[in-house]
């Protein structure tokens, strides 16, 4: 009996060692667009990143919001997301967000907003002191369509301190026959009330401003070239400070314009680069963040 007992223990121990030794390696996911995670996309040129994962801190500078209004936290695309109820997150100046964006920039974020028939909803603004419109403004023109419409107009507006002046770009929801004959391309963009990945790019070399949603360019090509001469440049007014969810004069409480208000909706994964990302990288970023990577 002693011999049998010893043999049984030996066999069980051997089986245990064999099982542990054959544990499968952790699954390695295939790259998307040559990247393993969203953090790798344009990494060398990333100048700001707000994960919005339960805190409003900007991760590269560790800057916390100087002012927070009506922001709570909810389930997002990756982890948590910020939920705004006529709210915003306003920051003091961040060194990386300034004149180094003059040669080009990309703003990306996940947003969940709806039309309201009355006012725009701002995602990101790089402010100008005491002015409602910042140097860079990324928003949805949710006041142009009735609340029953799910076609969201996504818009980028830059305001230059130089002769480039005010320049915007956006998708157009619909175009008539004359517009289409003139080169306009409508993109209804039915993302109202849904999570969507929105991107705004500016390239000062080409003078092209573009809007992308869910990895697809949606901006009307007629409004993408913002300088026919190709000689003007984008200049940033300093000092600047980033605001998520509002424009400068709403964040400081000095506006009397009823249309100028805080964000109603949700936002996640806000990133800023100091160059215009190319389409393939924007598509990879969308797929990676959608997959939680």
Within a domain: 5: no
Phi-psi label, residue 109: left if phi above 0, alpha if psi -120 to 50, beta otherwise:
beta
Within a domain: 198: yes
Within a domain: 16: no
DSSP state of 65: P
Q: Mean pLDDT of all residues in the chain?
A: 92
- The secondary structure element, H or E, covering residue 159 is strand 154-159
Within a domain: 4: no
Phi and psi dihedrals of 282, rounded to 5? -65, -40
pLDDT attached to residue 12: 38
Within a domain: 106: yes
Three-state DSSP at 177 gives helix
Q: Is the peptide bond before 239 cis (omega within 30 degrees of 0)?
A: yes
pLDDT tens for each residue of 177-221:
999 999 999 999 999 999 999 999 999 999 999 999 999 999 999
Does the pLDDT of residue 151 top 70, yes or no? yes
Q: How many CB atoms lie within 10 A of CB 7?
A: 10
| CA 252 vs CA 66, 90, 129, 136, 261: distances in Å | 11, 9, 10, 17, 11
Within a domain: 1: no
Three-state helix/strand/coil letters over 11-51: HHHHHHHHHHHCCCCCCCCCCECCECCHHHCCHHHEEEEEC
Burial of residue 87 (CB within 10 Å: 0-12, 13-18, 19+) is buried
Does the pLDDT of residue 149 top 50, yes or no? yes
Residue recorded with tokens 């100048």:
47
pLDDT band at 227 (very low <50, low <70, confident <90, very high): very high
Encoding tokens for residue 265? 């909706």
pLDDT attached to residue 26: 54
Query: What is the count of structural domains for the chain?
Result: 1
Burial of residue 24 (CB within 10 Å: 0-12, 13-18, 19+) is exposed
Within a domain: 20: no
Within a domain: 25: no
Instruction: Tell me the residue range of the domain where 53 lies.
Output: 34-290
* CATH code assigned at 268: 2.60.120.200
Torsion of CA 49, 268, 206, 94, to 10 degrees: -30
């Amino acid at each position: 009996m002693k011999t049998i007992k010893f043999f049984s223990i030996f066999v069980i121990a051997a089986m245990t060692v064999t099982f542990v030794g054959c544990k499968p390696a952790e699954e390695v996911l295939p790259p998307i667009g040559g990247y393993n995670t969203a953090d790798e996309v344009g990494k060398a040129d990333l100048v700001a990143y707000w994960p919005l994962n339960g805190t409003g801190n900007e991760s590269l500078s560790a800057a916390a919001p100087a002012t927070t209004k009506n922001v709570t936290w909810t389930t997002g695309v990756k982890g948590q997301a910020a939920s705004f109820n006529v709210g915003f997150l306003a920051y003091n100046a961040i060194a990386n967000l300034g004149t180094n964006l003059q040669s080009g920039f990309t703003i990306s974020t996940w947003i969940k907003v709806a039309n309201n028939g009355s006012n725009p909803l701002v995602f990101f603004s790089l402010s100008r002191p005491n002015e409602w419109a910042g140097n860079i403004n990324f928003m949805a023109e949710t006041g142009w369509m009735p609340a029953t419409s799910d076609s969201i107009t996504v818009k980028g507006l830059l305001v230059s301190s130089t002769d480039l002046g005010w320049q915007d770009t956006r998708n157009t929801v619909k175009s008539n026959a004359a517009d289409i004959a003139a080169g306009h391309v409508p993109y209804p963009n039915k993302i109202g009330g849904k999570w969507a990945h929105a991107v705004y790019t500016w390239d000062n070399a080409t003078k092209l401003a573009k809007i992308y949603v869910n990895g697809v360019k949606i901006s009307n090509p007629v409004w993408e070239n913002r300088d026919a001469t190709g000689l003007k440049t984008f200049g940033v007014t300093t000092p600047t400070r980033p605001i998520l969810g509002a424009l400068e004069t709403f964040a400081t409480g000095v506006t009397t314009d009823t249309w100028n208000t805080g964000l109603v909706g949700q936002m996640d994964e806000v990133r800023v680069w100091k160059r215009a990302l190319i389409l393939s990288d924007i598509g990879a970023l969308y797929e990676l963040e959608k997959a939680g990577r």
